[in-house]
A and B are shown apart, each in its own frame.
Chain A
Amino acid sequence: MLEIKNLHANVGGKEILKGIDLTVNTGEVHAIMGPNGSGKSTLAQVLAGRKEYEVTKGEVIFNGKNLLELSPEDRAREGIFLAFQYPVEIPGVSNVNLLKTAINEIRKYNSEEELDAMEFMTLLKKKMKLVEMDQSLLSRSVNDGFSGGEKKRNEILQMAVLEPKLSILDETDSGLDIDALRIVANGVNKLKSPDRSTIVVTHYQRLLNYIVPDYVHVLYNGKIVKSGTKELALELEAKGYDWLKEQKEFA
């Protein structure tokens, strides 16, 4: 599904990603961990197509297409979804409107019939149950005045509605209380299917108890320095990152 090869990227003239290699196959869940500032969000934003992040080397193939050549909207229409670490507040644009416009833009691109108001509402109601989201948040402006947890849950609702092929969850778990964490994880798991993949960026093992990854990678200083299975996350939880840094320096 996703193949990242030797990816380098700059932001503000500084190299942040220094050669990332990562392959995510269809149906897999990958977790990316790593210390603050190591480049996890940068990677996520590069995949989503943020133009402030300049790719200087390498390639990204998504379902056979050269992802880096696509506009952000086309990436989304091809099935990439980024749940932002810091979702943006957009006063004046209602949540429902955003979702309805988004889903129909995506359907149009994929030559599918647009949903009418009724069909859309039916779908939306179903998905809202999935993330146990309060009806009142729907008519409010996108993330405007939402609590930290509500924002994260809203990202998952969007994901649930848009049904992407590849979801990238950038610290969707941070700021969530235990119940919300369970709900969000539950939402993600319910959407899991053999033809969808997920990348979860997280600092905490506790999320991975709910969303069990097939692979865990450690991103450090713009590179993936270690990959393993879910046991690696437990090891990181116990030992921190220092032992990896040392290992790397010796290498």
Chain B
Amino acid sequence: MSNILDIKNWYIKSFESFESSLNGESSKPFHQIRKEAMEKFSQLNFPTTHDEDWRFTNIAPLLKYNFEPAAMAELKTQQTKNFLFENLKGNTLIFVNGFFIPKLSHVKKSNDGIIVCSLANQLKNGSPVISQHLGKYANHREQIFTALSTAFTRDGAFIYVPDNKILEEPVQILFITTTSNKNILSQPRNLYVTGTNSQVSIIERYLSLDDGVYFTNVVTEIYAGENSIINHIKLQEENLKAFHISRTEVDQEKGSNFTSYSISLGGEIARHDINARFNDEGSECNLNGLFLLTGNQLFDTHSLIDHAKPNCSSHEKYKGILDDTSHGVFNGKVIVRRDAQKTNAFQENKNIILSNGALINTKPQLEIFADDVKCSHGATIGQLDEDAMFYLKSRGIGEEKAKAILIHAFASDVVRTIKIEEVKKYLEEVLEKRFNK
């Protein structure tokens, strides 16, 4: 089936059976939001390359499939163990096809008000955090994939850290898809909320146990309370046939600090939209990204930092390495609103093209309405530095090895600032394996 109208109807139909499977939950207030989102979904169109925001990202291949909302699936601990960083002793949440699997997860009892659990659990309990935050930052009225996510919201990761609490060990969250020959749609919906003076680190990993075609549509909403610190690492390691559309929405209160690493390795077509808003002064937002593309992969990053208030700083560093006939897109928008004086906004996107067939479209977009600001941006696309190559060779290092060294250096510029040693080490290994043939 390739008719887009049919595809939309397919999802609308799926919603009916989804609703009936919700049982008692459809009487909860959040269900009104689901229904509204479904309504919007039916009105919105899937983006085409005529839409400015999707100009270079053609999702037609994704619309060829009737993805079925995933059913719960079982996995053994052995199958998931290898994907956890074993030296990290914090909470682990494991999702299979978007559903939380308590048996595979490990959540520590806590009596200090910190909550690490599934979103389903919080939806069922009618948590006040849900009614206050869920669906408030990701806009389901304009973005069709967000509408789809909101309409089908059922499960995902939920983290709440109350005022003055610090969650020392990073929370590890695995999103595993297992297709068993079905084209599955998995839609985890995550919500992370921190109170005043609190702190948390979160690692999300998206991967698959097989090589079937599936679609992950994930929306993550993050609310950073006053003076809180949030570190967020997203490792997108889906299989090479997967579609991965994700949106991260961050709302930052006064003096908060949000740092994100978005590492993209998998997917046939993958996209990450990450948006941060400063609601108040003195906040900081650091967005980092690294994408390694091979074959026919397409990866698109769209970031938006909204400097709505004065005295905030943002720092973006995105790096891409593109091989074969892969295609990368980077669009980094920064808005500095009229009263956002003393804004610091720095953006950098550097790309290395390793083959003639690879392509990158990069576009910084600065919209500055305040006058006392420091903003800079730079985008580069290039091959490996010839002078550096010659220098290494002149020291006896062969072509392949010299290349590997330079690519590694380029990529580790992003990796080396990751604070969680385990993750850093893992990514160094990934780079080593990929480029030190």
Contact = CB atoms under 8 A, between A and B. Distances in A.
Interface stretch (B13-21, B96-104, B112-120, B406-414): B406-414
A101 B413 contact: no
Contacts of B408: 92
B387 interface: yes
B369 interface: no
B394 A48 contact: yes
B393 A76 contact: yes
B90 to A, nearest CB: 30
Interface string A70-111: 011101110001101001101111000110011101100100
Contact of B405 (A49, A88, A93, A158): A93
A20 B397 CA distance: 28
B393 A71 contact: yes
B199 to A, nearest CB: 30
A93 B408 CA distance: 8
A103 B396 CA distance: 8
Interface string A48-72: 1110000000000000000000011
A78 to B, nearest CB: 9
Interface residues of A, number: 30
A141 B391 CA distance: 14
B410 A84 contact: no
B390 interface: yes
A184 interface: no
Given A92-B409, A92-B410, A93-B405, A162 B391 contact: no
Given A88-B387, A90-B388, A73 B406 contact: no
A105 B388 CA distance: 17
B373 interface: no
B406 A76 contact: no
B406 to A, nearest CB: 7
Contacts of A97: 405
A72 B388 CA distance: 13
B405 A101 contact: yes
Contacts of B399: 71, 73
A90 B391 contact: yes
A109 B391 CA distance: 18
B398 interface: yes
B396 A162 contact: yes
Given A90-B406, A92-B413, A101-B401, A50 B390 contact: yes
Interface in A15-68: 48-50
Contact of A105 (B385, B390, B401, B406): B401
B12 interface: no
Interface in A143-166: 158, 162
Given A90-B409, A93-B405, A102 B397 contact: yes
A49 B413 contact: no
Interface string A178-218: 00000000000000000000000000000000000000000
Interface in A111-140: none
9 contacts: A48-B394, A88-B385, A90-B385, A90-B391, A92-B409, A93-B405, A102-B395, A102-B396, A103-B396
Q: Which 6 A-B pairs have the closest CB atoms?
A: A92-B409, A76-B396, A102-B395, A72-B393, A106-B396, A88-B391
Given A75-B394, A84-B394, A88-B388, 16 more contacts: A49-B393, A49-B394, A50-B390, A73-B397, A76-B393, A84-B391, A88-B385, A88-B391, A90-B385, A90-B391, A91-B413, A92-B412, A103-B396, A105-B396, A105-B398, A106-B396
